[in-house]
Structure 1
């Protein structure tokens, strides 16, 4: 993931890195110049003033450039990461997306993406302070090579301890990242389950204190422990630095030539190096947090693999005949706690017919609809459109045949018709809205609904409006009328279906409303994953006029 982001921003990253290196070099040269000035007479210091001014100016300009460039890089990385995850979600097979779950996707788009983007803000601090520390070590080498070797040994000992602590801390950060994904699911339940939680005190108490509270506490404790380990190990490293300063000043430099100059140089360099080293050690955990988040995003997006080629056009070919030939699909069935086999199903559809699909709950009706519209690929058998089999390369194009309103539909706030919008689309949409008695609640303006603050039944009527405006050859309605008043059931079954049939549309209606079954051209029944065809009931006799 980090490699992907670096590849996307290579030029900007190089420029920002060079600015950070320049800042570190200017810092080291400036402290070396100050050290020399402290041990030089007034005549010698006179020639150093212009160099001091140039280095101070370079320090300011390089710091400004690094900060600005890395802030731009951070925002660019955040945007690219969100585009990447969104693109993987859009390209994923629907079954894989269902298995991944919306909570993990939300976590990847928000928390994990922010952590990875934050790495690019901390990167200049890591890089520039690393240059300062290395430059200070180089200056110490020039002052006294044997004391430099002692310093390197001490830093190596501190680095080993820090590395071991780092490995343990990362384990805690990874556990926190995994729990974060579950936490986002609980956050969603706060809103989606608001009614149930308010109506049941015991359920609300368990969810708030044990489920949600436990997850929040788990993320907090794992992250706090991981970051605390980093802080403790950084403090230990700082102690080693100060211990070394004491050894240099009071033990190691006694009796060496040019003692005053070496002591002044080492003391100044060590005091100056402590802050960059502390910043470096404290920012490394943030880099590791970004690494854990990047790994989590990799895991999430890898699970959303996609085998299908994208559709070449939003327009579908004309529907002449559509057939499912011995199609089989298996999935886990909660009611039986076992895998459920649907099919083999063989059925054909033709333009201008209304087909009702009936059956008990859990019989496989919605699954068959998802197979029909191409959301699930058949495990056996095939789908044939106009005499041609539909494979992974053409499945996305095949899906452009359909408009659907599933029972778990989502209503976008815009019509999203692309180039087909405009005033004409608004007018057609508002006519349909008035037909469904929603004109006093909502309107279509500039291709968008004026509000979605509606009941579930009203929102489903808007979803019907969207499906009709899409003008696709095949429409699928999954229990559309289940939560509608009798008035709107009549509008749907007696008027809307009749008009769509007259337009030559093929319509599949999943329904339990047996009083309207006579309106079907064909009546299909699904029971335990097996499809059969029933006789369409006779039209009810009309009451005689007096």
Structure 2
């Protein structure tokens, strides 16, 4: 995705040209009314159809009514489609980016990016208001030059000075708003911790107080203080603009007659023009804080894009079907991985691994915390991209072009397994599915779960162990060639733990499935064909169970 700019947000369905055209026509219509009203007040006839100025006035009103209705209707369509298009682009880009990019972003950054998109949904309407105000100012200033050029130059000079004052003050507002967005990112992380770790919060008063007072409350206090500073600066801008008009009116009433010696007709024309300018200039001043917010939102979204750009591991959605074929063997050659900090310093390294996995094998992996087990599983599952080395599926090298095909050959249950609320896999979860019924009985869930026949899904108000068993059912229904289990049995009672090792794994093996499981249940190590140990980032040993005693 290219860098997001103001223009890129309007490059669909000719939105920008049409919006600009509508704004110009609407602005010219409004500006023409100045001439009609001012001429009528001054008793000056129009240069054409002077006897029918009332007809012209009515014509403009009626035309404006229908034009405004069409214009506002188009604005509704553009605004609603605008947010939808950008949100889908962001989600789709994140969807096809690699897993590591998502981890670098974090849930908080993704949520705030969605908030930025929501904020930018008002951009079309604000753009029209801003463009409309600019055109009306230009037309009105042009009218003043037509009335009396010297006086118009004086007014324009004062307006330019006022603009420079606003630009200087807006830099302060932008700085405060940018800091506030950083605080919003931190708050979202605290908020996610609060929601996802609520049970842990309830278990410690110290932890609860620290989160609320030292982080959430402190964060919000700092954010509110910055927001107050920004609002006060914006209020200063608004008042400066508002009272500057009194200053301009004073110049027209008291200075221009003395310095330039103009007559009352010119003074009246300038007064009408200045009173008309109050609206559009006031609109621009009021919009400045919003425009600064857009600038910051663009910057944040471009940072989002920078992290994910070029890190795609998902081939074209219209690509040909999986060409890897049925699984026979998986070869891992000098596979390594490194975790680095913000300074690009290596904080953990998984040493080069050489391993060959055959069809129908059962492999158990064990090791201490931080030994590299989960890192290896993330590499094996295709979520991580190795820093060096290679993986070959049936002698076919796994690359960005076929990595999603490779992942489609695997069924994984991770230690932090999450059950989706919807049936995205389109499983047959109806009572008529005999395989499902057998699996529910096998997992002792047939008396517990409730099936939604209308929506073809299962209600999931289950314990953590029951959720893992339901996840195993879904995994079996996927019927993939390779099954990866990350400490699946850790949350099961002794009976189900034994059933997993003595029944489920042998049954998968009998069907020619390959099973790779992280486990610390040493009492069941005899249930595997090979046992692999990790320690401090190294695969230290590989035991053949047939020749081992436990």
Does TM, scored on the shorter chain, surpass 0.5? yes
Does structure 2 retain, via aligned residues, the 8 Å contact 1:28–1:135?
Answer: yes
1:520 to 518, 523, 528: 528
Aligned residue in 2 for 1:89: 94
1:225 to 226, 229, 246: 229
**Unmatched runs of 5 consecutive residues or more in structure 1:** 542-546
Report whether the alignment pairs 1:284 with 2:293: no
Distance 2:253 2:77 in 1: 44
**Unmatched runs of 5 consecutive residues or more in structure 2:** none
Query: Cα deviation per residue 1:446-476 (whole Å; 9 max; x = unaligned)?
Result: 6753322222212212211221111111010
Distance 2:432 2:253 in 1: 83
Does structure 1 retain, via aligned residues, the 8 Å contact 2:133–2:283?
Answer: yes
Query: Cα deviation per residue 1:330-353 (whole Å; 9 max; x = unaligned)?
Result: 2269xxx97222222111111112
Report whether the alignment pairs 1:138 with 2:142: yes
Give the alignment of 1:72-221 within 5 angstroms: 72-109=77-114, 111-221=115-225
Give the 3-state SS of the residue equivalent to 2:545 in structure 1. coil
Distance 1:164 1:42, change over 3 A: closer
Aligned residue in 2 for 1:61: 66
Q: Cα distance, 1:301 vs. partner?
A: 2.2
Aligned length: 536
TM-score (norm 2): 0.91
Distance 1:289 1:106 in 2: 17
Q: Cα distance, 1:430 vs. partner?
A: 4.2
1:435 to 442, 463, 476: 442
1:263 to 267, 270, 273: 267
Aligned residue in 2 for 1:246: 250
Give the alignment of 1:411-450 within 5 angstroms: 411-417=419-425, 427-439=434-446, 440-443=448-451, 445=453, 448-450=456-458
Distance 1:278 1:376 in 2: 53
Q: Cα distance, 1:480 vs. partner?
A: 0.3
Q: Cα distance, 1:219 vs. partner?
A: 2.9
TM-score (norm 1): 0.91
Aligned residue in 2 for 1:347: 355
Distance 1:239 1:138 in 2: 23
Query: Cα deviation per residue 1:223-269 (whole Å; 9 max; x = unaligned)?
Result: 33234323312321232222111110122135967722212211122
Report whether the alignment pairs 1:14 with 2:17: yes
Distance 1:41 1:243 in 2: 28
Distance 1:41 1:414, change over 3 A: closer
Q: Cα distance, 1:375 vs. partner?
A: 1.1
Aligned residue in 2 for 1:50: 55
Aligned residue in 1 for 2:407: 399
Q: Cα distance, 1:146 vs. partner?
A: 0.6
Give the 3-state SS of the residue equivalent to 1:48 in structure 2. helix
Report whether the alignment pairs 1:297 with 2:301: yes
Q: Cα distance, 1:424 vs. partner?
A: 9.3
Aligned residue in 2 for 1:40: 43
Distance 1:282 1:430 in 2: 63
Of 2-11 and 349-358, more deviation after overlay is shown by 2-11
Distance 1:268 1:399 in 2: 71
Q: Cα distance, 1:356 vs. partner?
A: 0.9
Distance 1:127 1:114 in 2: 22
Give the alignment of 1:15-30 within 5 angstroms: 15-30=18-33
Query: Cα deviation per residue 1:170-227 (whole Å; 9 max; x = unaligned)?
Result: 1222222222222211111121121122222222122112211222233333333234
Give the 3-state SS of the residue equivalent to 2:505 in structure 1. helix
Query: Cα deviation per residue 1:271-296 (whole Å; 9 max; x = unaligned)?
Result: 12112211121113212201211110
Distance 1:499 1:462, change over 3 A: same
Distance 1:10 1:238 in 2: 38
